[in-house]
Structure 1
């Protein structure tokens, strides 16, 4: 996750007691750790959620995106709310809404209620992201101390992404899927209680305004696009609601740009995009997260439905992907100091693309152990790329836009994350349905059995293929083999799209960033003139 670094608050004081500063940093790190426990954890648990609720692939897409969409849409607004009304209040409110969302999921009896709970948790996380970093900036006004604290914050976020699937895997070994939301609920309430007692509030003295029209248009545009992609994959691209969603998004997006250009206090400052390096890294960020989250969604379903892997095993696989963000953070910082962010970024993107393309080597016999090295390659590449993206974005702009730039960078990350499950889910469904007839014919099944298997998958959803039961054990085995081959073909298509997206990101980085040395005072001066 890119850091939403912001300038020190005017209220910040070098006289902040060391103990208070340490406690504040610890609570900020713990809060973001709690907020990100369910992100990948829920993805790893999708197969058991599907079985528990008999959810369709479309429903699973919405369960994932229900969290991401409000996070993307509200992130910038909550940054302003924290500066206007107090970061402690925003932090506490975020934890309260997050805990409420976990409680809703914990008591859910259907997909809709899980989506509502996920959406509430996403709203809470949108408030936690800027407020935790605002609290850090308040108690760590010196650049060196703030950089160290933000590094801890980033590591805490990565730790939440890494441990979430493992915790959930351990839970579902002994309880139903609903209980995966209990640790986040308990830890969120605990963090809220401690923060209410020990945290000091802070806010910015510079004049800020809530950009209500911009907020509404951004939410409408993002939701319209994601809704159109997800529903188009199941209802058909010519369906009335799908066409309407795309039309609404097509109107809302340019309207958002116009409103932001005219607003005295825009939610997204369009001046940022005058910098080619910032614009390039914004696109790169979206593509990286599009591929990462999309492949996490796809692989969780692949190993859960085709291999019937446990949630714990899927968590181990995803830990191999996400854990490197935590482990390699200090090394990436030293690499950038010795060379420059550009080469490190492009190396990371190429390595990540190689990892994504190697997923095409998976077949129906690939085990979790065999897949983990490939996931490690993908994870190393993403870990190498993430820190340089933020560094380049910050270095390309003047200091007074640093906070807005980093917040925008994080919002674009969430937008890329939202489109990953939406697009990859559609690819998965279409490819399975397109190749299953051929694989069933090659399996030797009779016409009646082929028709029955196709009918079940076409009407109940691609997940139903994992639980097919035909008239005889041999026919059932043959149908499962054909289904596994079709799902593997679909996985290969998703891997190809992801690898191509990362290679495109590397090309964009080469054109907009290049292999350039570290930023100099002259670079900053030119940035000041541009923006």
Structure 2
């Protein structure tokens, strides 16, 4: 992994031939603060949408006549479109302009949320969820691209990505809390309506404060690559959701996973042959891009699915209400905010690799501590609350480290691709985590739903979760090179090339 150099540079070029970012201001200007606020509000809202309906599913089922077996499609319809189309829309942003895609997708999100809140049939609600997922798939990489191009590499971008990561993770936790509060005090429909004024405010303000961003040379759209990667991701996500619902041997799970693997293999074959590939294999072959996204995928798989596991534990083993269980995750949310604010300081004083490894170790230790959760409320909460707080801090160090790693050392023309890949890792990780852990719980409980059986299944899945976090630590230590120390101003004045991304 290349160093993220924070000192001012002379007019030079990287070894890859791209211009080195100009010297940046030592602190955020008024305009940059406004740009950051607009982008962060949008990203927070998108993160909330991933979890806000989880607690509300039974109420939606009662209100619109969903069968118990079909309730999962409320979440699956959103997850399929959000994860499957992220990379495709990331490239579309490069073609037509990231600002246009960002604003247009938020318009779609507002309309879809209004339609979902007003839905009087299950069919209308599912269409609204698909539209929400498509809006998320477009807005997430566009917003992240606008952020990385507005803030040059260095401490300002690290700070912006740190706050973005903290709010993104906190948004997932907030969604679980907010969904319970709105459903219990008002109606499940407000879990949709709450998006409308926020989306409207961002759409009205964004055109005046955000500058358009697109590569100097307009790339061509690789339709065969876009089709195979989108269908491949749809197959994988569908197969994983079916595995979580029915088990790994279910025909739908096996069919989806098999089709997804074959289509992704076809995607890589296409990318080797087309003149303007959707994902240039040279870029994907960069150590920081490839391994950074692997680490990001593991980070989102583990922490978001831990929320699902602990929701099961709190409600099925300890007997908490949905609202009380949701509020219990407030401590995790605080931990992610603290981690997001701490991460840029850790990176600036040490290196991105240190943040990745240290954060992964902290997350592993405190996830493993949850293996000692029992069946009594007082003792269990005395362990769960501090463990989720410090686990959230560690997870956010990894997430910010992943974002910095996966988007550094690349020219502006590749930022749409880099942020599209990072957004895809985020979306797929969030989508994959819950069905994977649900399948582990199902296997460990053999279908039993008693409090003790759920406790056994959750503890088994937590062990798998901690193992995946530890795997990320090992991968980072083995495959990513430590960042080089920051150079002095005198050294920067020397006409040498900037470090090339590994």
Q: Same fold (TM over 0.5)?
A: yes
The equivalent position to 2:377 in structure 1, one of 366, 369, 385, is 366
Separation in 2 of the partners of 1:365 and 1:55? Answer: 34
Separation in 1 of the partners of 2:178 and 2:280? Answer: 39
Separation in 2 of the partners of 1:22 and 1:337? Answer: 20
Separation in 2 of the partners of 1:232 and 1:133? Answer: 31
Q: How far did residue 176 of structure 1 move?
A: 2.6
Separation in 1 of the partners of 2:142 and 2:401? Answer: 23
CA contact (8 A) 1:71 1:125 kept: yes
Q: Show the counterpart of 1:431.
A: 444
Map 1:447-462 to 2 at 5 A.
Answer: none
Q: How far did residue 35 of structure 1 move?
A: 2.0
Map 1:98-177 to 2 at 5 A.
Answer: 98-108=109-119, 114-136=125-147, 149-177=160-188
Higher relative contact order (CA 8 A, sep 6+): 2
Q: Show the counterpart of 1:474.
A: none
Q: In angstroms, what is the RMSD of aligned CA positions?
A: 3.7
Which blocks of at least 5 consecutive residues in structure 1 are unaligned?
A: 1-6, 437-464, 466-482
Q: How far did residue 397 of structure 1 move?
A: 6.1
Separation in 2 of the partners of 1:178 and 1:282? Answer: 35
Separation in 1 of the partners of 2:137 and 2:465? Answer: 26
Q: Show the counterpart of 2:333.
A: 322
Q: How far did residue 184 of structure 1 move?
A: 1.4
Q: Show the counterpart of 2:324.
A: 313
Matched, 1:421 2:426: no
CA contact (8 A) 1:353 1:502 kept: yes
Q: Decide whether aligned partners of structure 1 residues 44 and 347 sit closer, same or farther in structure 2, where only a CA change above 3 A counts.
A: farther
Which blocks of at least 5 consecutive residues in structure 2 are unaligned?
A: 1-17
Map 1:270-285 to 2 at 5 A.
Answer: 270-285=281-296
CA contact (8 A) 2:91 2:420 kept: no
Stretch deviating more after TM superposition (376-385 or 76-85) = 76-85
Separation in 1 of the partners of 2:151 and 2:245? Answer: 50
The equivalent position to 2:399 in structure 1, one of 367, 375, 386, is 386
Structure with greater helix percent:
1
Separation in 2 of the partners of 1:230 and 1:167? Answer: 24
Q: Show the counterpart of 2:274.
A: 263
The structure that has the greater radius of gyration is 1
Matched, 1:489 2:456: yes
Separation in 2 of the partners of 1:395 and 1:140? Answer: 12
The equivalent position to 1:84 in structure 2, one of 92, 95, 103, is 95
Map 1:386-405 to 2 at 5 A.
Answer: 386-395=399-408, 401=414, 404-405=417-418
After superposition, give the CA deviation of every residue in 1:323-350 in whole Å (9 maximum; x if it has no partner): 3332233322222222222233112112
Map 1:160-199 to 2 at 5 A.
Answer: 160-195=171-206
Separation in 1 of the partners of 2:67 and 2:360? Answer: 33
After superposition, give the CA deviation of every residue in 1:103-142 in whole Å (9 maximum; x if it has no partner): 3432446766554433322211222223334444666679
Q: Show the counterpart of 1:451.
A: none
Q: How far did residue 145 of structure 1 move?
A: 5.5
Q: Show the counterpart of 2:424.
A: 411
Separation in 2 of the partners of 1:27 and 1:90? Answer: 15
Stretch deviating more after TM superposition (141-150 or 306-315) = 141-150
Separation in 2 of the partners of 1:155 and 1:243? Answer: 35
Map 1:2-13 to 2 at 5 A.
Answer: none
Q: Decide whether aligned partners of structure 1 residues 320 and 204 sit closer, same or farther in structure 2, where only a CA change above 3 A counts.
A: same
SS in structure 2 of the partner of residue 280 of structure 1: helix
Separation in 1 of the partners of 2:103 and 2:443? Answer: 43
Report how many residues are paired: 472
Matched, 1:26 2:46: no
Q: Decide whether aligned partners of structure 1 residues 44 and 233 sit closer, same or farther in structure 2, where only a CA change above 3 A counts.
A: closer
Q: Decide whether aligned partners of structure 1 residues 324 and 265 sit closer, same or farther in structure 2, where only a CA change above 3 A counts.
A: farther
Stretch deviating more after TM superposition (70-79 or 377-386) = 70-79
Separation in 1 of the partners of 2:355 and 2:34? Answer: 34
Q: Decide whether aligned partners of structure 1 residues 230 and 74 sit closer, same or farther in structure 2, where only a CA change above 3 A counts.
A: closer
CA contact (8 A) 1:230 1:425 kept: no
Q: Show the counterpart of 1:377.
A: 390
Stretch deviating more after TM superposition (293-302 or 254-263) = 293-302
Separation in 1 of the partners of 2:207 and 2:411? Answer: 35
Separation in 2 of the partners of 1:513 and 1:519? Answer: 18
Map 1:42-53 to 2 at 5 A.
Answer: 42-45=53-56
TM-score (norm 2): 0.81
Q: How far did residue 86 of structure 1 move?
A: 2.9
TM-score (norm 1): 0.77
